[in-house]
Structure 1
């Protein structure tokens, strides 16, 4: 992997400037006071649970249990927070999830939003606590539980407040809610509501499409999770333009393990190993989220140039933006 990925970062300054999520386990009282004094807001916090003992166990840090105490101080001093709960079956789900949502809702509106995302399990788990991932049945159970909270909080707070990651709906084979459900997408950088936003942009972009385009033969490279979603969009475009050919290649994650299905964790080496020798057309598109922000390097230090050389095709990164996606696929920008 890239050398920088071996460093564990929990810096509240990066939370403010870049949107990183922090656990606050390295915070002392004077650090909390400094955040309040300097008005470092908003802060993105990985809460996971408000049960002190459970949080200490989950994070293997004796200071982890002070999270709610810190958050109450932020609340009292009008520091805005966005929170995430990485959900682990049999640990912080069920009644523990109810407790956490209830506790965080008491800090509204300082706690602006809460995302619930499923734990990502790599194949490198030797010596670690045994945890199962979320399948169709367990994902449906989480959706039902959080939906009840959303209805209650919409009535009490005027906001859904808590939002589920797209993965839960995809795993459950259930429709992703429409854009209005996400109330301005406060957690979109955490991948929550990304597909709803993308779909909305695609539909808007379709209203202003050209009648004709030049002949196009392109490929789209993505993760397994988004594969069917991208294929559906691509089919719609090919129905409109007879001279447009789009191939979609969902990449199996051999680097981290097949349970990792999101596009942002696909490595360059996996793309090369699975697509080398294939006819990818005139141009291949990848999500920009596969690359280091502002750079052309994958998680495994493979570069876009390496990919182009190995696959013998032009590689173009595309942001998760429906307007940009349509324009680049059709070759109209």
Structure 2
């Protein structure tokens, strides 16, 4: 693991850090003897009323002892959020969208991130395959909730095959740990026809039933395939019949879960409705639209918002006026 480098970028005038003489370019090494891995760690560790800061100034370590109110901010700003850098993904998923990017794009589009901190901060989905015991304990202690978990399948052999690694850490014990420590999470299942659909998908849903209310929602999305799949595993896209069966199964589970958990729990990506040729559910069936960034409910929410906006118009546009709405191919 990369050694944390918490370089101070700014010092707020009149703050505790300013009174200590800290300056931009100094490096925060430890708080209370613990290395500071990222901004979240800093905020958590610096909340104490009594703490020590080990700071490197001009190559020399200096120890500061501080007494402050629990709400008092130290007044430090840093050059980056992740002091040890973003954690990279060690999986080789058969459907990885990064592997399907064309050549010649900007470098950041080829970064495969697998960082639970990015999951908490920005909703990035992670497989949890690179979590250490220290990471799990930290998630529990600092209540880094909710997280966004790429489940795909709960059958270990199937999940390992999807992730492209022979021995990924077992997922369910990790979810047991998170739920047992009050951490909430969203689950994602990327369905690949012939791999994790059918009975495997049915088992996945059944295995996840034990996690509400910590499990907030399950997003079911079809595998996304581009034309840039040279030397990648052959995958089959959804056809109309399979998409219809998948939607119908999810609707049946929604009815069951609504009675059991007070939530529909499982939500289907818009693309599956379009492929199946089925109408979208009404907007309230998406509850809080918590999976919209995963392509779940994006079109129904747009149509709802459009209807509300149009209802505020007092006049009808003159005949002959035209409007253009740009959509993707599936629409």
- Tell me whether the two structures share a fold, i.e. TM-score over 0.5: yes
Q: Following the alignment from structure 1 to structure 2, what is the Cα–Cα distance between the partners of residues 188 and 123?
A: 25
Alpha carbons of structure 1 residues 159 and 65: separation in structure 2 relative to 1, 3 Å: same
Structure 1 residue 247: deviation in Å? 3.4
Q: Name the CA distance, whole Å, in 2 between partners of 1:250 and 1:146.
A: 26
User: Which SS does the other structure have where 2:296 is aligned?
Assistant: coil
- TM-score, normalization by structure 2: 0.65
The superposition leaves residues 262-290 of structure 1 with CA deviations (integer Å, 9 ceiling, x where unpaired) of 8xxxxxxxxxxxxxxxxxxxxxxxxxxxx
Which residue, out of 111, 132, 137, partners 1:7?
Answer: 111
2:313 equivalent to 1:209: yes
Structure number with the bigger relative contact order (C-alpha 8 A, sep ≥ 6) is 1
Aligned residue for 1:247?
324
* Structure 1 residues 73-112: aligned runs within 5 Å: 73-112=177-216
Q: What is the deviation of 1:249?
A: 5.1
**Structure 2 equivalent of residue 130 of structure 1:** 234
Tell me by how many angstroms 1:243 deviates. 5.5
Give the number of the structure whose alpha-carbon radius of gyration is greater. Answer: 2
Shift of 1:250: 5.0
CA distance in 2, matches of 1:89, 1:76: 33
Measured in 2, the distance between the counterparts of 1:179 and 1:66 equals 36
CA shift for structure 1 position 105: 1.6
Separation in structure 1 between the aligned mates of residue 211 and residue 327 of structure 2, nearest angstrom:
41
SS in structure 1 of the partner of residue 323 of structure 2: strand
RMSD after superposition: 1.8
Distance 1:82 1:249, change over 3 A: closer
Structure 2 stretches lacking a partner, 5+ long? 1-104
Tell me: CA distance 1:251–1:60, structure 2 relative to 1, closer, same or farther (3 Å). Answer: closer
Q: 2: CA distance between counterparts of 1:195 and 1:247?
A: 16
Gaps of 5+ in 1: 213-239, 253-260, 263-333
**Which of the two has greater helix per residue?**
1
**3-state DSSP of counterpart to 2:288:** coil
Does the Cα contact within 8 Å between 1:25 and 1:63 map onto a contact in 2? no
Query: Residue 244 of structure 1: SS of its match in structure 2?
Result: coil
Q: 1:220 corresponds to which residue? A: none
Distance across 2 between alignment mates of 1:166 and 1:250: 13
Task: Tell me, in whole angstroms, the C-alpha distance in 2 between the residues paired with 1:119 and 1:112.
Answer: 22
The one-character-per-residue Cα deviations of 1:91-121 (angstroms, maximum 9, x if unpaired) are 1111111111111121111011000000011
For normalisation by structure 1, the TM-score amounts to: 0.65
Distance 1:91 1:251, change over 3 A: closer
Deviations 1:225-246 (A, max 9, x none): xxxxxxxxxxxxxxx4436322
